[in-house]
Amino acid sequence: MFSQGHDDQPVTTYNFIDGVARPAEGGRTYSLYNPARPDELVGYAALSSHRDVDAAVRAAHAAFSSWLKTSYVERAAKLNEVADFLETEKGDVEYRSRLFCREHGKIIKETHLEVSRLGDRFRTT
């Protein structure tokens, strides 16, 4: 999860634990730079502690137990909901493409293709 800003503004990522986006313990972060332009700050990522990781693993384990009891049809429906969400707003796809480009130093054409097809990955899983 990240806070969405303008293309040239730094973003902040958070831990996503038990359905909630939250900062790392103590609010610690580390800086992310564009590898193609090393002076360009892309944003700040949550610098997770051992407690953050333990909380994430506990939440994932609890969710997995429930997921095991979910039918194939229900699982497919949930994955399709994720795909629908990812494909809803063209502007969001454009924004995420540009952010991914800055974060990884890739060309925009390549990142746009990857991001615009992300929903397909959830539909075919």
Are the beta carbons of 3 and 21 closer than 8 angstroms? no
- Are 61 and 82 in a shared domain? no
- Which residues, in sequence order, are CB contacts of 114 under 8 Å at separation 6+? 97, 100
Question: What pLDDT is stored for residue 2 in this prediction?
Answer: 47
Looking at residue 61, its amino acid is H
Band of pLDDT at residue 1, cut at 50, 70 and 90: very low
61 shares a domain with 10: yes
Residues 6+ apart with CB under 8 A from 59: 17, 18, 19
pLDDT of residue 35: 94
pLDDT of the residue at 6: 54
Residue with tokens 């609890």: 62
Q: What is the mean pLDDT of residues 69-84?
A: 93
Domain boundary among 31, 52, 69: 69
Residue 5 predicted with pLDDT over 70: no
Contacts of 22 (CB under 8 A, 6+ apart): 14, 15, 16
Q: Number of structural domains, the chain?
A: 2
pLDDT (tens digit per residue) in 25-45: 999 999 999 999 999 999 999
- Shared-domain flag, residues 65 and 93: no
- pTM, entire model: 0.74
| Same domain (yes/no): 42, 82 | no
Mean pLDDT in residue range 80-104:
85
Mean pLDDT score of the chain, rounded to an integer?
Answer: 89
* 122 and 98 together in one domain: yes
Residue where one domain finishes, among candidates 28, 51, 69: 69
- Which residues, listed in sequence order, are joined to residue 3 by a DSSP beta bridge? none
Last residue of a domain, one of 24, 48, 69: 69
Residues 65 and 91 in one domain: no
Residues 77, 26 share a domain: no
pLDDT-derived band at 7 (thresholds 50, 70, 90) equals low
Looking at the structure, do residues 65 and 100 belong to the same domain, yes or no?
no
Distance of CA 111 to the CA centre of its chain: 14
Q: Which amino acid is at 6?
A: H
Q: Which domain holds residue 122?
A: 71-125
